[in-house]
């Protein structure tokens, strides 16, 4: 198997991680593009006999650190997503956020996350606790759930309420989702792709976003359908079945880059 073939299955998830730590699809894709340019120039930068997934995430982590240093050294005004992150980074270290993402969203153990960010497992555990405590203090949301499976919707609603957020409505169809969004003006949407009347959660979200800008998390069994790069990706993605900690982390990370919850 060639190096390109070995890397290809990891790319959608590397893009997801890049977007999560940088705050936008454009910035996240740039991190992964940097990784690919490095490997084209120097294929020996990874050891295919070792754990390739850990090495690839470590390279994205390193590129993010380099990009942050370059941004700090630049006289240019930061992009909107960077400005939002900067406001929060006065209160929470970036490394803690990355530790949280790697374990709760990307599924790495604390040991493997430590190998990626260059820390031991005990430090990773402490960073995760630090990130969650601070983000919980900073972010509260009014959430619209778009999900046609009653048990899943109930589980999501319980998790969301336990986190201290408000659930303004649960919608099961495209039309219902748009109507609830117009009525309740949520600050975050959690959406499935396939809805009760065979309508599309993606199309419902697109219609909602045509009227108002707000963060979205898609919860789907087929994340690859949205991680194609062929269209704007306004949402973070969770894969079914999901763990409560994964949903908790995703909500925290999405709200992390939501301008309305930036600390004063």
Looking at residue 49, the DSSP 8-state letter turns out to be T
The pTM score is 0.56
Helix (H, G, I), strand (E, B) or coil at 143: strand
> Do the beta carbons of residue 108 and residue 102 sit within 8 Å?
yes
pLDDT at 85: 57
φ, ψ for residue 208 (rounded to 5)?
Answer: -65, -45
Query: What are the b/e assignments for 13-42, b being 16+ CB within 10 Å?
Result: bbbbbbbbbbbbbebbbbbbebbeeebeee
End-to-end CA distance of the chain: 52
Helix (H, G, I), strand (E, B) or coil at 2: coil
Sign of the CA dihedral 109, 111, 116, 119?
A: positive
d(CA 178, CA 87): 32
d(CA 36, CA 56): 10
CATH class of segment(s) 140-261: alpha beta
User: What residue spans define the domains of the chain?
Assistant: 3-136, 140-261
CATH code of domain 3-136:
1.20.140.160
d(CA 57, CA 201): 30
Q: Find tokens 């959430």 and name the residue.
A: 143
Q: Find tokens 């390739």 and name the residue.
A: 52
pLDDT at 232: 47
Helix (H, G, I), strand (E, B) or coil at 218: strand
25: left (phi over 0), alpha (psi -120 to 50) or beta: alpha
* pLDDT in single tens digits along all 264 residues of the chain: 788 899 999 999 999 888 878 777 788 888 999 999 999 999 999 998 899 999 999 999 988 877 655 555 555 555 555 566 556 555 667 788 889 889 987 889 999 999 999 999 999 999 999 887 876 676 678 999 999 899 999 999 999 998 888 999 999 999 999 999 999 999 999 999 888 888 888 889 989 999 888 888 988 876 666 666 555 454 578 888 888 888 888 887 787 777 666 554
pLDDT at 234: 45
């Amino acid at each position: 198997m060639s190096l390109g073939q070995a890397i290809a299955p990891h790319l959608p998830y590397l893009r997801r991680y890049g977007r999560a730590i940088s705050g936008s699809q454009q910035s996240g894709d740039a991190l992964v593009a940097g990784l690919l340019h490095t490997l084209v120039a120097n294929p020996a930068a990874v050891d295919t006999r070792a754990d390739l997934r850990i090495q690839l995430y470590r390279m994205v982590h390193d590129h993010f650190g380099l990009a942050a240093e370059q941004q700090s050294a630049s006289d240019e005004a930061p992009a909107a997503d960077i400005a939002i992150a900067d406001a929060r980074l006065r209160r929470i270290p970036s490394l803690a956020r990355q530790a949280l993402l790697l374990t709760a969203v990307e599924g790495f153990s604390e040991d493997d996350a430590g190998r990626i960010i260059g820390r031991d497992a005990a430090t990773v555990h402490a960073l995760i606790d630090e990130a969650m405590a601070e983000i919980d203090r900073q972010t509260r949301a009014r959430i619209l759930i778009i999900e046609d499976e009653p048990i899943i919707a109930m589980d999501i609603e319980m998790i969301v309420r336990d986190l201290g957020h408000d659930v303004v409505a649960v919608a099961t169809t495209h039309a219902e989702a748009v109507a609830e969004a117009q009525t309740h003006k949520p600050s975050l949407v959690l959406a499935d792709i396939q809805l009760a009347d065979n309508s599309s959660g993606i199309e419902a979200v697109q219609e909602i976003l045509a009227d108002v800008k707000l963060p979205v998390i898609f919860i789907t069994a087929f994340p690859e359908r949205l991680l194609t790069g062929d269209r704007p990706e306004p949402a973070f993605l969770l894969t079914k079945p999901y763990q409560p900690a994964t949903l908790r982390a995703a909500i925290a990370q999405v709200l992390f880059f939501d301008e309305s919850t930036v600390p004063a």
